Amino acid sequence: MRRLTAGLLVLTLTLFAVACSFRPAEPAGASDTKPQATDAKTDAGAETGASATAAPTEATTKKPDTPEKPEKPEKPEKPEVPSYSGGTLKGEYQLENGNEMKRYEKVAENGFADYRKQLTDAGYTLYDSHEIGANRYATLTKADTAVSLCYIAADNSLTVTVDPLERTALYPREDYDGSTKVTDTTLGIISLNYAMQGGKKDPETGENLDGNGMSFVITLEDGRYIVIDGGYDSDVSRLRSYLRDNNKRTDGIKIAAWIMTHSHPDHYGCLDAFYFNCASWGIEVEYVIANPVPESRQNPNFAYEAWMRDKLPKIVERLGAKYVMPHAGQVLRFCNAELEILYTHENMAPELIWNPNEASTVFRLKADGKSVLFLGDVEFSTPVLTKMYGAELKSDIVQINHHGYAGGSQTETAEELRLIDPSIAIWTTSRATFDLRRSASDTEPRRQPFRDLIDKIGLENCLIADGPCKLLPMKYTSLADMTTYEFPTT
């Protein structure tokens, strides 16, 4: 009897289970696709917040719709730069990297302050400001845009440049308290491999009589370097040896900034051949500083060396460096040194650039109470520079422009050197070239002001970039403090 009762119970439960699982046929037209299996435990909590043990319902067993991917936030629009209406618009220019420039003339004395306030009222924040004599400068930022103002009192002009910060970096303003000092600040004058250069040779000695090029290395107190130009591609091993053998850091060779003055191979050739190997040589470059001439600022009637414009972006990318496009009046601060930008090709506007020399970035190094003025190769832009600054050009040391080959007119160059009034002058040439250009047999009138300067300060205060490299501490009291560095012979 017990076995019969148990059997009936099992049969009853089986029939009940079958009845519960019975599903009527779907009406015609309904989908015959099997429903996707779901995890009721997961879906219950996700969809309704109910307990995972709750009885399954259509809401909890159906797979939830796949959520749409959130749209990427739109990039904020480029902030509008308020128009300046206080002067006469003389020209608008499209610069490199999407940068823009406007030049105004007949600007009232308070025009700079008025426009700066107009920018701050529009939401721009002051990043930095500077004064040189009666000239006024400021850089303001908003979102990813920087606006730089350059007011020159001598001609009542205002230059406004707009830089997109996704393409160019803000110029550095490092704070320094002396705690990372490992050495003294030194100006290194790097001699070049003039024998590898072409040009006129001395028939008796075979020396190169047209040996030019420019390479400087500034050693900062924290042991980082600032490299200026670098010379020809044949000078790579020399620069590398100097950086390696004079390095005072324990974490490798670090170049805080590599500055390119202009687009001529006796200035950029070394960087063009150097950059590709920096990583394998353990050399880190933090900033590349240059202001290429855009096609809009180039005189179409003259050939122009476009290396800086075409090649520099690739070099910056390969180095993993930040790129800064400097403008007049900006002060770049690295460790204990300042680089005061005095002139770029922008200051020649509205005149077009017909020679890379006139596009040289002119700047002044200040450290340890001393100043060094780097003129690059400026020639006929000399009067622009003297008009902008007058007696404010006064500096302790000057790098003679264009290797002493020629400045502007004889009168213009004489005025430039009078205003600078240096006690030490640096010639970026071979010794043979220097001797030739200062000799009485050289009758080129545009070189006469350089010869006059030699007579004024004395030959002993003229430093020629030939032979051993010359290392001058910025705390020098006389040239007797200078040391030298010989390149390895192997």
Closest CA to 136 of 328, 289, 324, 326: 328
pLDDT of residue 77: 62
pLDDT of residue 312: 92
Closest CA to 272 of 280, 284, 260: 260
pLDDT of residue 295: 86
Q: How many CB atoms lie within 10 A of CB 75?
A: 9
DSSP 406-425: --SSHHHHHHHHHHH--SEE
Q: Where in the chain is the domain with CATH 3.60.15.10?
A: 186-485
CA distance 391 to 420: 7
Structure tokens at 487: 């390149």
Q: Evaluate whether 292 touches 315 at the Cβ level (below 8 Å).
A: no
User: Backbone phi, then psi, for 454, in 5-degree steps?
Assistant: -60, -45
pLDDT of residue 97: 79
pLDDT of residue 241: 98
CATH number corresponding to 88-164: 3.30.160
Closest CA to 158 of 88, 80, 79: 88
pLDDT of residue 19: 46
Pairing relation of β-strands 186-189 and 125-132? unpaired
pLDDT of residue 71: 54
Question: What does the DSSP 8-state code read for residue 303?
Answer: -
pLDDT of residue 211: 87
Q: Where in the chain is the domain with CATH 3.30.160?
A: 88-164
For tokens 């687009």, name the residue: 263
CA 203 vs. chain centroid, Å, equals 43
* Segment holding 463, helix H or strand E: strand 462-464
pLDDT of residue 136: 98
CA torsion sign for 317, 322, 327, 333 is negative
pLDDT of residue 73: 47
What crossing angle do the helices spanning 265-274 and 307-319 adopt, rounded to 10°? 30
For tokens 């600054």, name the residue: 389
User: Backbone phi, then psi, for 351, in 5-degree steps?
Assistant: -65, 135
CA distance 484 to 490: 18
Digitized pLDDT (tens) for each residue of the chain, 490 residues in all? 444 444 444 444 444 444 444 444 444 444 443 334 334 333 333 333 333 334 333 333 344 444 454 454 454 566 789 999 889 999 999 988 789 999 999 999 899 999 999 999 999 999 999 999 999 999 999 999 999 999 999 999 999 999 999 989 999 999 999 999 999 999 999 999 998 777 677 778 777 667 899 999 999 999 999 999 999 999 999 999 999 999 999 999 999 999 999 999 999 999 999 999 999 999 999 999 999 999 888 888 777 778 888 899 999 999 999 999 999 999 999 999 999 999 999 999 999 999 999 999 999 999 999 999 999 999 999 999 999 999 999 999 999 999 999 888 999 999 999 999 999 999 999 998 999 899 888 888 999 999 999 999 999 999 999 999 999 999 999 999 999 999 998 6
Q: Evaluate whether 221 touches 183 at the Cβ level (below 8 Å).
A: yes
CA distance 373 to 464: 16
Q: Tell the CATH topology of 186-485.
A: Metallo-beta-lactamase; Chain A (3.60.15)
CA distance 213 to 229: 9
For tokens 């020396």, name the residue: 207
Closest CA to 269 of 235, 232, 236: 232
